[in-house]
Structure 1
Amino acid sequence: MELSTIKDAFERVTKKQTLSCSKTQEAIDHIRHEIESVLDTIQSVNNADHELDYKTVMSELKASLLKAAPLSQMEGTQKELNKYGKLLEKYFNPDISKAYRNIDIDIHTLNQIIANHFYRQGLFEIGDNFMNVVGEPESAAIMKSPFLEMYQILEAMQNQNLEPALNWAATNSDKLDLSGSDIVLKLHTMQFVKVLQNGSREEALSYARTHLSPFASRYMTEIQKLMGCLLWTGKLDRSPYHALLSPSNWDKLAEELKRQFCNLLGQSYNSPLSVTVAAGIQVLPSLLKFMSVMAGKKHEWQSMNQLPVPVELDSEFQFHSIFVCPVSKEQATGDNPPMLMACGHVLCKQSILKISKNCTKVFKCPYCPFDIDAGQCRQLYF
């Protein structure tokens, strides 16, 4: 509803501005014409050696200009802009401090999160300067070292040089295999296509025997496809396998390498700081609304253990299933897991124990008339 209101107001302002721009251009053209007309009149009178009442001419010009471009025409547009500004202030309150909670923050950890964000984005100079400013320069070298290697590999890939990437893959092949990654095959596939393009069929076949044959047992279909490329040496761009030459394959491979590189470092592909800020932006409007209602009870907000209002986050911010018990309204945990009852409804374990008096009696499901034996309830895994 809020976005719809703002959008409608924006469209009104846009239309007003477009119309105002058109009218302003017309007024400017008219003013220029009036001034040029007066200049021509003055010039012709001077050339004829006639006397001219300049005061009268200028008074007539002023009256003509005010008529052509009245100030009220500009003021109308300005009023609409002022209304839009007030509307933005209403819905986008710049004061977000009221949603802040007094919590203890580990400054060292926070500094590392920020520096890590810079290094994983390849902003090494900014990261170093930040660590120097916060007084932790000794941590900079350790944190940025792996990302320096990653960006050296990615830079080489931009120049279609796969040697650094292949060396990294060979060094970490066991870890990559355990994680189920097929990036080693993808790198050798790209190199095979490159050899086939720049070399001969014999060189490409030799490369396949050395580097691709170990994958034949698990990726036979992919290997057969690459062997088919040998029949189109010199004309691969006109073959059924021309998609292998798409420049986008290099971009996809670089992204996959970055993902696997971060995975081996034990870090997520997306920057934790970026994810946190993006999720916070979505949550903030709901919190600000809540704090407006709770304006006189700020101390209660400071002591709450969980968010007091439901918050809907996009799927990209949902990393695991969450179950909230409909009876206790508490989120399920390892010690208080969701339990499936015989009727098909689900409650948390602690709620079932409480209702059943620690499994000493049969109880009715809170949502249907079914009699439940607590001993028959089974833990539910999402």
Structure 2
Amino acid sequence: MELNTVRDAFDRVAKKQKLSSSKSREVIDQVGHEIEQTVMSMQSTQDSSTSVDQKSILVALKTKLNTISPQTQLEGSQKELNVNLSKCSKVLEKVFNPDISKAYRNVDFDLHILNQIIANHFYREGLFDTADCLIKEAGEPEAISLKCQFVEMHQIIEAVRSRNLEPAINWATANREKLTQVGCNLELKLHTLCFVEILQKKSRSEALNYARTYLAPFASVHMYEVQKLMGCLLWAGKLDKSPYSDITDVTHWEKLVDELIQHFCSFMGQSSSSALRVAIAAGVEGLPTLLKLANVMAVKKQEWQAMKQLPVPVDLGKEFQFHSIFVCPVSRDQSSDENPPMLLPCGHVLCNQSIVKMSRKGTRAFKCPYCPQEASVADCRQLYL
């Protein structure tokens, strides 16, 4: 809705700008035409009384220009353009520079946890000096415990981006058991990229020796992948023109970096994305809805900050769904701690408040709205999402 408002305001400015430009050209053409006619008239006078005739011609030109009134015409179209420009800037300011203080609640943050989250974020981003400074000034020495591991992660990543896979291979080998448990073949991917680098930059024999040493152990489980790599040997020096050219795509390196970060953080007991980044991204996504809610509630003179549940949905998309969500098919209400989902004997699930209402506060049996089976409140079991 906000983008439509901005688009409409911009379209009005563009329309007025075209009209103003067209009007300016029209006025300039009129003035130019009158001047050209005057010059031609003055050149046609050849007798001795030219001075009197030219003066009368110039007087006539002045009269015509006063009739055209170019300044008045230009001012009118320019004024309309300026009015719409002013309105457009106000729309932009309202949409893109709102007072966000109306859309958040005053929450007592745990400064200890908040400092750790921020320091953790800086470590993830490789800003170690910044994180150390924050920890020192905030008095949070225990937050530095993750530094060494993140330093190792960034050293490995920088090496990979420099086409040096040895540190990453050593890490994957040391964590082979953990990677296997999560069904990840990261070690094979690393050796594959190394094999392709050798095949492209060195000799076929060196690539074959590398395959015998490092790829052969994976053949029993990943035979197809190994066979494909062996086929690449036939195209040494021209791999980019072979049926296996996709294996040289540079995107494999960036995907490898993302996978390394994901598993490295997972084995540290950390999420692959920092909590600070996720919180800010989710806040930006939900901010327009919250601002609109705050404005509507202010007009109605109602206070929304005291509500336990927002009266409107804030759709953040699947990216920010970290917990299961259940919406009662009867009441259409989202489940909560006060209104948990309940499993009926027939296997269907309703929210507790719907069950209480249908059973008349538990005084009678009720029929499931989705099948003929009857149940009582005592027969229902709470589900934990």
| Range into which the TM-score falls when normalised by the shorter chain | 0.7 to 0.9
Q: CA deviation at 1:79?
A: 0.9
Give the aligned CA root-mean-square deviation in angstroms: 4.2
Q: Given the two structures, how large is their TM-score scaled by the length of structure 1?
A: 0.75
1:101 aligns with 2:95: no
Matches within 5 A, 1:1-382: 1-17=1-17, 67=70, 70-91=74-95, 94-132=98-136, 134-136=137-139, 138=141, 141-295=144-298, 296-298=301-303, 301-325=304-328, 326-327=330-331, 329=333, 331=335, 336-340=340-344, 342=346, 345-348=348-351, 352=355, 362-365=365-368, 371-372=374-375
**1: CA distance between counterparts of 2:2 and 2:150?**
42
**After alignment, is 79-88 or 66-75 more displaced?**
66-75
Rounded to whole Å, the distance in 1 between the matches of 2:112 and 2:27 is 62
Once the two structures are overlaid, the 10-residue window that deviates more, 344-353 or 302-311, is 344-353
Question: Unpaired segments of 5 or more residues in structure 2?
Answer: 32-61
**Contact kept in structure 2, 1:262 and 1:269, CA below 8 Å:** yes
State the AA in 2 paired with 1:152: Q
Secondary structure of 1:294's counterpart equals helix
How many residue pairs were aligned?
Answer: 357
Contact 2:365 2:374 (8 Å CA) reproduced: yes
Q: What secondary structure sits across from 1:308 in the alignment? A: coil
TM-score for both structures, normalised by structure 2: 0.75
Structure 1 pair 264–20 and aligned structure 2 pair: CA distance change class (3 A): farther
Q: Residues 238 and 329 from structure 1, CA distance in 2 versus in 1: closer, same or farther, beyond 3 angstroms? A: closer
Contact map agreement 1:324 1:332 (CA 8 A) in 2: no
Moved more, 368-377 or 178-187: 368-377
Tell me how far apart the structure 2 counterparts of residues 157 and 27 of structure 1 sit (CA, whole Å). 65
C-alpha distance after superposition, 1:298-345 (max 9, x if no partner): 3xx344333332222222222343003345945156994442563x75
**Which amino acid in 1 is paired with 2:114?**
L
How far 1:21 sits from its partner (Å)? 7.0
How many Å separate the matches in 1 of 2:19 and 2:129? 48
Give identity over the alignment, percent. Answer: 53
- Whether contact under 8 Å (2:27, 2:70) holds in the other structure is no
- Which whole-Å CA distance do the structure 1 matches of 2:284 and 2:366 have between them? 44
Bigger drift between 155-164 and 90-99 goes to: 90-99
Contact 2:325 2:334 in 1 (8 A): no
